[in-house]
Amino acid sequence: MTVVNDSRFEDLLSQVADSAKVEKSAIMSLIQEKKTKVGAGYLTDQGALFLVASDLGVGVDYDHTRPPSLAQLDADARSISVIGRVLSLGIPKPFARKGDSSKGLLSKLILYDSSGVAVVSLWNDAVLKLLASTLSLRPSEAIKITDAYTRAGLDGKPELNVGEKGRLEKLASDDPSVSKIRTIERLIIPPSSISDGGKNLVVRGKISGEVRRSNFSRSDGTASNLTSFSIGDELATSALIRVVVWNNLNPGIEKLREGDVVTLLNVRAKISNFQNTAALEIHGDETTTTLETFDETREWMFAKAGESYSPATSAANSPEEKQKSGARPLPFIARVISKKYSQSDRKYHLLLLDSQKRKVSVTASDDATKNLNDEAEIDSVVLCKPDVFDQGSSRVTCTSLNSISKVSAKRPDIPDASSMFVKVEEIPPTEGSVVSLELICLSDQVSREIQTKEGLVKRSEITAADHTGEVKVFGWRNLSKMLEGFSAGDRMILQAVETQVFEGRKFLVLKNYSNVEKKPITG
């Protein structure tokens, strides 16, 4: 008997037995029968259980367990995906790598969800991605981070890291995945509500008295600075609390003046001895920002990062800027892995694979579509002469005649379409990987309207499996039609679908170049 996860299988088995009022032993017999007659070589016991549940008219909660939240991150984990709201952002700092003394860049993002707060270390390009105008993240806005990893922080707790492979995506304010995470406005407290030991606080109050700034040297000779002032409740008379912000020169802090109402993001409360008197104070550091001037602070951070770090992927060298300068992308040779014509936009969508195993998504329109059926068959080697090539996303646009033309070279160094096929357990954990699979459907196709920043859009989904495990397949908007007509027990061939990861769970998403076929059951 093959079971993917013993404890999870037992939970699901209990769900079905209780709902259908059938003994577990009887369900196990049905599982073995289903594996023998329907899914031989395709199904685990858990996968067969879904088909049995469907026959019994019982719904099974496929996603009844969720990966850890920000407060439950595992140590030394890889390929993590998390969602949270932005609390604050630290000043970018240059550093020299130990190995070759080359320059690097580090910044701290403070992220929160319903469970707690996490410090995210952003390295090099990830800093620029977060600060770039295309993302324009502000406090309280939601972000999805994929392909992150954890390392132990100074306090020994797991700390998220985003490096070269990491991806940052701004989410819509009404995205259902963040609906239960409170906004910044709901986190704000007045100074009078602060108690000793509070961390990652959002405090709003009115500055009373002079704002002082000091530069000094620590005992080890390190140059330091601080900004200090007193703050009280905004609309009521209350005892003033001293605020000290350490080593923070961002303009949002430097421009504070007496009488300003300020919202301090990411501060903590502690008892300190000031002028020989123990008193409650508010302390901030380089990750402390002010809500009222955050846009200015972000622009300052972006400029500061650019002064000390200029990678090849910086804004000045982006594909968009290269296009503006008139530079045309270089032609390249690749193999056609997948191809589909879209009636809705009258464009061809192809997936190409080159000798470096780079997967390139191609959209061919206008004159580029002429004779494309003859010039771009599956597994044929082609010369692609793109009009636009976005290196960051590996997307190509072709509009000119003969943009894609077949060449006679065999190119055995470039894998063919069959090499894309994997088993469920072999699906790469890397977001954006493209694979092909042969599966059996565990559920009927289900469609629903999903609220996004673009409005309501259609999404279809189906749960499928092979003998190594189960996975969900999603089709959005017009691509949802590709899953229509599939039901539990059908065998399907998925060609060139994309892997995505949400909170540690892998799933598959149909792309414009994907193909879906129903395979007849024989024997």
Distance CA 510, CA 474 (A): 6
Residue 6 has what pLDDT?
52
94 and 151 part of one domain: yes
Q: Is the pLDDT of residue 312 over 60?
A: no
Q: Is the pLDDT of residue 372 over 70?
A: yes
C-beta neighbour count of 200 within 10 angstroms: 18
197 and 235 part of one domain: yes
165 and 125 part of one domain: yes
90 and 173 part of one domain: yes
243 and 330 part of one domain: no
Distance CA 189, CA 282 (A): 13
Most confident of 20-34, 324-338, 461-475: 461-475
The amino acid that residue 17 corresponds to is A
Residue 262 has what pLDDT?
96
Which band of pLDDT confidence, cut at 50, 70 and 90, is reported for residue 182? Answer: very high
Any domain includes 343: yes
Residue 521 has what pLDDT?
63
C-beta neighbour count of 266 within 10 angstroms: 25
Residue 1 has what pLDDT?
35
Listed residues 143, 178, 213: the one ending a domain: 178
Which band of pLDDT confidence, cut at 50, 70 and 90, is reported for residue 5? Answer: very low
For 331-399, the three-class secondary structure string (H helix, E strand, C coil) is CEEEEEEEEEEECCCCEEEEEEECCCCCEEEEEECHHHHCCHHHHCCCCCEEEECCCEEECCCCEEEEC
25 in helix, strand or coil? helix
Residue 323 has what pLDDT?
44
- What CATH number did the domain enclosing 165 receive? 2.40.50.140
Distance CA 337, CA 358 (A): 12
Weakest-pLDDT range from 98-112, 137-151, 237-251, 460-474 = 98-112
135 and 113 part of one domain: yes
Most confident of 10-14, 110-114, 146-150, 388-392: 110-114
Q: Return all residues near 5 (Cβ < 8 A) that are at least 6 apart.
A: 46
76 and 165 part of one domain: yes
Domain assignment of residue 374, given as a range: 324-406
Weakest-pLDDT range from 7-21, 87-101, 461-475 = 7-21
In degrees, to the nearest 5, what angle opens at C-alpha 41 toward C-alphas 36 and 42?
100
167 and 229 part of one domain: no
Q: What is the average per-residue pLDDT within 259-273?
A: 94
Residue 64 has what pLDDT?
44
Q: What is the average per-residue pLDDT within 84-111?
A: 86
Residue 39 has what pLDDT?
56
Residue 264 has what pLDDT?
97
Q: What is the average per-residue pLDDT within 23-27?
A: 86
143 and 211 part of one domain: no
* C-alpha count within 13 angstroms, C-beta hemisphere, residue 64: 13
Residue 19 has what pLDDT?
78
Any domain includes 193: yes
String of DSSP letters for 356-369: T--EEEEEE-GGGG
Residue 210 has what pLDDT?
94
Any domain includes 412: no
**Higher-pLDDT residue of 65, 156:** 156
Q: What is the mean pLDDT of the chain?
A: 84
Q: What is the average per-residue pLDDT within 287-300?
A: 90
9 in helix, strand or coil? helix
Residue 201 has what pLDDT?
96
Residue 234 has what pLDDT?
87
Q: What is the average per-residue pLDDT within 327-343?
A: 83
Which band of pLDDT confidence, cut at 50, 70 and 90, is reported for residue 325? Answer: very low
Query: In the structure encoding, which two tokens stand for residue 274, read together?
Result: 């000031």
30 and 78 part of one domain: no
Any domain includes 61: no
> Considering the chain, what percentage of its residues have pLDDT values greater than 90?
39
Q: Do 382 and 376 form a contact (C-beta atoms < 8 A)?
A: yes
Any domain includes 414: no
Distances (CA, A) of 309 to 36, 374, 398: 60, 47, 33
Q: Is the pLDDT of residue 313 over 50?
A: no
Domain count, the chain: 5
Q: Is the pLDDT of residue 522 over 70?
A: no
Any domain includes 373: yes
Any domain includes 411: no
Would you tell me the crossing angle of helices 6-20 and 45-55 to the nearest 10 degrees? 10
Q: Is the pLDDT of residue 102 over 90?
A: no
Any domain includes 241: yes
Q: What is the average per-residue pLDDT within 33-56?
A: 77
Q: What is the average per-residue pLDDT within 23-42?
A: 79
34 and 111 part of one domain: no
Distance CA 81, CA 197 (A): 30
Distance CA 298, CA 133 (A): 9
Q: Is the pLDDT of residue 394 over 70?
A: yes
Q: Is the pLDDT of residue 66 over 70?
A: no
Residue 42 has what pLDDT?
66
Residue 37 has what pLDDT?
76
Q: What is the average per-residue pLDDT within 323-345?
A: 75
Q: Return all residues near 170 (Cβ < 8 A) that are at least 6 apart.
A: 135, 136, 137, 141, 142, 143, 144
The amino acid that residue 315 corresponds to is A
Per-residue pLDDT tens digits for 410-466: 788 888 999 999 999 999 888 788 999 999 999 999 998 887 766 788 999 999 999
78 and 150 part of one domain: yes
Residue 75 has what pLDDT?
76
